[in-house]
């Protein structure tokens, strides 16, 4: 369906909830290390519950190993508060990757450059607030991609 890519996530509960979402929607989860926690952390397991064992998960030692991997999606969109184009204006296809930065700092500039124009944002209606929670952002984006792909079938 869609590949979800988390760049060095820091909060185990977010990653657990995203893992649960991915298992539920048949999306593959890519985790790019270093992580801010260990996969065996009880908070991650609690958030992912029994869905974690059903998850299609690929882990990478670092950003370079992700870029070099034959298992990574070929078409990757970066979700960013700095993007101008909305997820509503993007065209998603099965197998696309949605890349999300970590909770504390997003992704480095080199990754923004790597994705080029493939940067998207979730529409914001309150100019005073910075961003949504990572797990919420992934949920919104995954379901928008699935909605589009479902209309193609």
Is-contact 29 22, C-beta < 8 A? Answer: yes
Write down the pLDDT at residue 130.
80
Is-contact 135 142, C-beta < 8 A? Answer: no
3-state class (DSSP) for residue 141: helix
Write down the pLDDT at residue 45.
58
Polymer length of the chain:
153
Could you tell me the fold of the domain covering 3-152?
Alpha/beta knot (3.40.1280)
Q: What is the pTM of this model?
A: 0.93
Q: What is the rounded CA–CA span in Å between residue 42 and residue 5?
A: 22
Q: Residue 96: which of 25, 4, 17 has the closest Cα?
A: 4
Question: Under 8 Å CB-to-CB from 14, ≥6 apart: which residues?
Answer: 47, 103, 133, 134, 135
Write down the pLDDT at residue 90.
96
Write down the pLDDT at residue 5.
98
The encoded tokens of residue 120 equal: 């998207």
pLDDT tens string, the chain, 153 residues long: the values are 899 999 999 998 899 889 999 999 999 999 999 998 877 656 555 665 567 778 999 999 999 999 999 999 999 999 999 999 999 999 999 999 999 999 999 999 999 999 999 999 999 988 888 889 999 999 999 999 999 999 765
| Backbone φ and ψ of 123, nearest 5° | -55, 140
Characterize the bridge pairing of strands 28-32 and 57-60. parallel
């Amino acid at each position: 369906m869609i590949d979800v890519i988390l760049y060095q996530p820091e909060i185990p509960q977010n990653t657990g909830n995203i893992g649960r979402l991915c298992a539920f929607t048949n999306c593959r989860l890519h985790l790019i290390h270093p992580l801010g926690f260990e996969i065996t952390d009880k908070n991650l397991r609690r958030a992912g519950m029994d869905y974690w064992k059903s998850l299609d998960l690929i882990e990478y030692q670092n950003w370079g190993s992700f870029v070099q991997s034959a298992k990574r999606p070929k078409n990757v969109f970066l979700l960013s508060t700095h993007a101008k184009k909305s997820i509503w204006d993007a065209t998603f296809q099965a197998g696309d990757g949605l890349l999300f930065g970590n909770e504390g700092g997003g992704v480095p500039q080199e990754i923004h450059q790597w994705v080029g124009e493939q940067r998207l944002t979730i529409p914001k209606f309150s100019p005073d607030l910075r961003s949504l929670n990572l797990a919420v952002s992934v949920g919104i984006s995954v379901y928008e991609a699935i909605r589009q792909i479902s209309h193609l079938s």
